[in-house]
A and B are shown apart, each in its own frame.
Chain A
């Protein structure tokens, strides 16, 4: 049977992030279900006219509310990502893109106890590009950093502009190179070329991946 994932890496990436987002939403719903069940459990033995522990119920209601806010954040973030496929060319804010990529990869990083921090530029940097391909390229760079980092490490991502070029960087404080490293680097180059960029990789004690994109300003 033909494995279409290699022919369509975007589909594979979309599937991976869909699975992570829906897993997180499943956890949110499970918590809401348990707390609503708890409310019913507390009410069940009461007779009409018996007092209710108001503070307790308020506390539970607040916890349910917090989960709905969390669930809404997850949904909005994933919806934003889904809409990156609407158009092959759109004005995007690079810090927002990097924050979205970081948030969408949160579960993968937390499973490895790795922290991702986004470094924002002082002024917003916007450019016209293919938003989905840009997120795919950034996501691939982040994946490489996650697989090259020991547990409990840190990854810093951000962007800067210098001499007409935008640089998106992905830095780990560790550099564990596995057998598949070269293939991963090749795949990043394939995603970056459609957005007119090129990739540089430095690997010493730390790993730093940079995507350079011409920026007319």
Chain B
């Protein structure tokens, strides 16, 4: 079982707070930020292997954040989430290198399974 180290990025502070706590209760290391610029800073400073990213946030464009994160760490597993209904952004995100596109509200146990499978498929190890 690969150790997940998750960064949650969403402009909705309450969503980030609740999701991080739910990950923590499942013994998954998780940190949350509420803007894309902070997300890039955190990824450059810390050893995350997975990012949950809202594609539509104020300030820096979500797709630009995604590209910036992958250019910093190409093996990062990025899962896009959004309340935005259009599937175009999801398709753009997948083309830019995201692993999956998930509409809100999310099912946490399904998400965790997807995240673990994504890391396992890469044969990555955090140890």
Contact = CB atoms under 8 A, between A and B. Distances in A.
Interface of A: 19, 22-27, 29-31, 33-35, 37-38, 41-42, 63, 67, 110-113, 151
Contacts of B104: 26-27, 29-30
Contacts of A19: 84-86
Name the interface size band of chain B.
20 to 34
Contacts of A30: 12, 15, 83, 104-106
Contact of B14 (A42, A67, A110): A67
Interface in B7-55: 12, 14-15, 18-19, 21-22, 25-26
B96 interface: no
B59 interface: yes
B21 A26 contact: no
A31 B25 CA distance: 17
Contacts of B57: 111
B85 A29 contact: no
Given A23-B85, A41-B22, A111-B57, 17 more contacts: A23-B83, A26-B83, A26-B84, A29-B104, A30-B12, A30-B83, A30-B106, A34-B18, A34-B22, A34-B108, A37-B108, A63-B14, A111-B58, A112-B58, A113-B58, A113-B59, A151-B59
Contacts of B85: 19, 22-23, 26
Contacts of A25: 83
Contact of B12 (A31, A37, A38): A31
**Chain A CB within 10 Å, residue with most, of B21, B26, B57, B106:** B21
Contacts of B21: 38
Contact of B15 (A27, A41, A111, A112): A27
* Main SS class of interface, A: helix
8 contacts: A23-B56, A23-B83, A23-B85, A30-B83, A38-B18, A41-B26, A67-B14, A111-B56
A33 B105 contact: yes
A67 B18 CA distance: 13
Contacts of A42: 25
A113 B25 CA distance: 34
A23 B84 contact: yes
B2 to A, nearest CB: 22
A181 B91 CA distance: 30
B15 A31 contact: yes
Contacts of B105: 26, 29-30, 33-34
Contacts of B25: 38, 41-42
